[in-house]
Structure 1
Amino acid sequence: MPQLNPAPWLTVMLITWLTLLIVMTKVLNSSPVPHPSTQNLKITKPPLTWPWH
């Protein structure tokens, strides 16, 4: 049974994880995360009132 031989699948899995780690760290470091502030919270519409019958 070739499924029991972990040699090719282990290398593929390790290469994939390393690639994803490198790509994700570069993406997360390059895009700034906007910090929430209370000044941008403006309620323009009244909340919806649903009739519960």
Structure 2
Amino acid sequence: MPQLNPGPWFAILVFSWLLFLAVIPTKILNHISPNKPTPTSAEKHKTGPWYWPW
């Protein structure tokens, strides 16, 4: 039974993960985001206290 011999299955598992970790991140990182992040201003918004109507 092949389940009792971990040799070839472990090698297939390791090589598939190495392929996954080498190819997939490069394909994902090559995509260009359509919405570039805009820089935020350094000034903080002035917030006042909230007055409840009751």
Aligned-residue RMSD, C-alpha: 1.8
In structure 2, what is the Cα distance between the partners aligned to 1:12 and 1:4? 15
| TM-score normalized with structure 2 length | 0.54
Q: Which structure 1 residue ranges, 5 or more long, are not aligned? A: 36-53
Identity %: 37
| TM-score normalized with structure 1 length | 0.55
Q: Which has the larger radius of gyration?
A: 2
**Runs ≥4 residues deviating over 4 A:** none
Q: Which structure 2 residue ranges, 5 or more long, are not aligned? A: 36-54
1:23 paired residue number: 23
